Structure 1
Amino acid sequence: MASNKETGDENTNEFIAWRDRMNKTPELYHDYKRGSKLNKVRMADTLGFHGRGVFTDNKTISGLLEKLEIKLRKQGILDPIKPKSADKSGKKADPTESDPKQSKFEKEREHARHLEHDVCELRAERDDLRKEKKELKEEVTTLKQEVNNLKSQLRKFEVLDSALSGVGRLPR
């Protein structure tokens, strides 16, 4: 049975692969559209996740999904988020008025999301490079065998050439 970290990494890699496939034909996102967000239940079913909780429990996927939704809003695929018009007191919320500690926390959280995303992408790149390295090693081994066969054939032809030139008969 896989550990939580392994399962989380597998889920993250699966989400990244799905996102990359979807980005090739962005109109497919319309099937997952639910207002200004993507339908997490439908995505979980498609990706084979056990429920939509993966999108909140896995911070890496949560950050990647948030970035994806922002990108899709900019492209006009998702609807824009409607601003909250007023709080309970009837006063409009001012986004510039925020708690500095909260702002710092949000910045650190966003930075952590970016780092987690970068780590996942680097892991995927590392895996691709390992696969490519293995394929290149196999190709080198095959080419070395071919070179050795050709050297062997060359030696045989050199012996034949010297024997024929010693007899005085040279092929035309």
Structure 2
Amino acid sequence: MANGIELALANVQAFEAWKATQTDDTYRQIIYRGKLNRGEIAKAIDCGRSALTQNPTLRAGINQLEDQLRKEGILPPLTDEAKEVTSNGKVYDLKASKRKRESGRLSALERENVELRSLVKELKNQLSRYTELSETLSEMGFMPR
């Protein structure tokens, strides 16, 4: 059984062999959202998609290939926004999931609060009607048991 380093080297070699057999038309067939389709590359070199992002040599090779294809006009040029995202990377927000949960809980509590306020208003109206009825009966001398 091969260890991780050997698998990583085998994946890089498989990518280089695959890259050598491709033509401009085959690259055009696997373009997805302005980049080469990572799923198709993974199938072609018989590795998992995670290897394409976790293996730095393989990731650099794919990025280098895409840059070369952009220069040749096969891939569309990167937009300014895409250049900024790739250069800066996405910052992971540790509190995003907590904020999302709290936001959902807050909206549920606000909904419940509105429902309870309307119920309280309705019950106060009923109480005022029954208070008037009770006072009227009391004045007439009929006391409920």
Give the TM bin, normalised by the shorter chain: 0.5 to 0.7
Is residue 2:58 matched to residue 1:61? Answer: yes
Q: Which runs of 5+ in 2 are unaligned?
A: 89-145
Amino acid at match of 1:2: A
Shift of 1:80: 1.0
Show the counterpart of 1:26: 24
Alignment of 1:89-168 (within 5 A): none
- Map of 1:17 onto structure 2: 17
Task: Tell me if the contact between 1:15 and 1:47 (Cα under 8 Å) persists in the aligned partners.
Answer: yes
State the partner residue of 1:8.
Answer: 8
Rounded to whole Å, the distance in 2 between the matches of 1:34 and 1:76 is 15
Deviations 1:152-172 (A, max 9, x none): xxxxxxxxxxxxxxxxxxxxx
The total of aligned residue pairs comes to 86
Residues 118-145 of structure 1, C-alpha deviations (whole Å, 9 max, x = no match):
xxxxxxxxxxxxxxxxxxxxxxxxxxxx
Question: Percent sequence identity over matched residues?
Answer: 33
- 1:39 matches 2:41: no
SS of match in other structure, 1:78: coil
Give the aligned residue type for 1:26: D
Structure showing greater Rg: 2
CA shift, 1:36, in A, is 2.0
Is this contact kept in 2: 1:36–1:73, CA < 8 A? no
The Cα shift of 1:46 comes to: 1.6
Instruction: Give the TM-score taking structure 2 as reference length.
Output: 0.54
Q: CA RMSD in A?
A: 2.3
